[in-house]
Structure 1
């Protein structure tokens, strides 16, 4: 009948993989949605949940964006005539205007392109990529303290509401 709760039943729904380390290592400024040029065996492996973008990054070559070091582990039964390469370079698909914007910000302002997530949109695989700037060690410590304080505050509020 269609989609329910933002999930696509046929493809397992929602998010495929997330780069959780990205939020810890970088200040994420602006995110973009990019398509991925995939081969058939890669799509089958992604449906089986075999994607990892934890150590991946995006690079500009000849005016095009490419995703490096994203791991899609092949299924044994996926292909008999193609030799799968799990960490191959994959092309990111964006509009020319968006690519030009990203290239300008990277060269002018010193940003890095970091893949944040892989997810389904309809029957297509999309990559969320973010313009990011690296965090210094003291920034990471401050974020960690803030996260710990929020957690402790929630505990105290729960305990207070439970006693009341």
Structure 2
């Protein structure tokens, strides 16, 4: 009986909260980083309820710190009355100094972009996977959709045969 409970807790702790599906289509991801988030209490409750959207969000670097901007976390109706929730406030990302220096160099010198890819739970803490990316040109996007269609068609053929 203890095994069932520990499996349930483990499954809940490593669950995905939100995924930015548009990012893989719009950008070619070069490298991925895991960052912690500085959140308020009402935001954590909303994340547990799955009320987050990463579609129009991006990561920027200001004064040597990484910030998540544009991520929409909608407040629960049962949020506290003395807290004024701001759904799109900037959230500080927690990265170590080595990772930050690498990201700053890539963004400022090489012209990369920082894109949030997914948000998930890891050991009871909310984590954000960010990608160091370059924007795709229109012909690259066409090639991506062509490859995706071919993979889908190949799967159908294999299923029939």
Structures share fold, TM-score greater than 0.5: yes
Aligned residue for 1:82, secondary structure, equals coil
Map 1:124-163 onto structure 2 (within 5 A).
124-160=125-161
Question: Deviation string for 1:27-85 (max 9, x for gaps)?
Answer: 00100000000000000111111011111000000000000000000012121111000
Is the aligned partner of 1:43 residue 2:44? yes
Cα shift at 1:3: 4.0
- Could you tell me how far apart the structure 2 residues matched to 1:24 and 1:143 are? 7
Report what 2:11 is aligned to.
7
Number of matched pairs: 157
Map 1:59-78 onto structure 2 (within 5 A).
59-78=60-79
Map 1:69-148 onto structure 2 (within 5 A).
69-148=70-149
Q: Aligned pair in 2 of structure 1 residues 5, 124: CA closer, same or farther (>3 Å)?
A: closer
Cα shift at 1:138: 0.2
Is the aligned partner of 1:52 residue 2:53? yes
- Could you tell me how far apart the structure 1 residues matched to 2:82 and 2:24 are? 39
TM-score (norm 2): 0.93
Cα shift at 1:139: 0.3
TM-score (norm 1): 0.91
Structure 2 stretches lacking a partner, 5+ long:
none
Structure 1 stretches lacking a partner, 5+ long:
none
How well do the aligned residues superpose, as a CA RMSD in angstroms? 1.4
